[in-house]
Amino acid sequence: MSLSRTETVGRRGFLTGRGEAQLRPPWATEESIRESCTSCGACISACPEAILIEGPAKTPTVDFSENACTFCRKCADACEEGVFGDNSEAPWNLIATIQNSCMLNIGVSCQICSDACMDDALRFSYLPPPSGKIEINTEACTGCGACISVCPNGAIELRKAPQGESDA
């Protein structure tokens, strides 16, 4: 599963009534949303970064188009239904991936994503392709989405980290 700035629903998803995978708030799972969420919107209203939006069935989904998650837990604290896990768990197991549409691949020098990354998970390297390369430290990437909202080409997606990668 990969999630980008915006998701589209394919033909099959439209016809079956099932869209693409939704990125749920940190510490919440698809299962906990399905079983416990009452669609009250408390978590959406509580998010100071305004990254939680109303998704399918009025349940919360994450939208990184304007901002990133700071993992402040205000969404979890606002929920009275037990949808969110506790602090001892990783908020989610996602890491950033750079797609071929990255401006560096066409010779344009850009490192906006690495500048936005507060965890130093994205680093600019002066190695090929044409104008350098962004290297991802999967151990440091928290999946916060800061790099997604600033990428001018929408070239960054989050994907589930393979077992053993980012548990942050």
What tens digit of pLDDT does each residue of 124-146 get?
A: 888 766 778 899 999 999 999 99
pTM, 2 dp: 0.80
116: closest CA among 81, 64, 167?
A: 64
Structural domains present in the chain: 2-78 (no CATH), 99-159 (3.30.70.20)
Percent of the chain with pLDDT over 90: 64
Cα 81 from chain centroid (whole Å): 23
Q: Return d(Cα 152, Cα 129) in angstroms, integer.
A: 18
For 17-35, write each residue's pLDDT tens digit.
555 678 999 999 999 999 9
68: closest CA among 153, 133, 5, 131?
A: 5
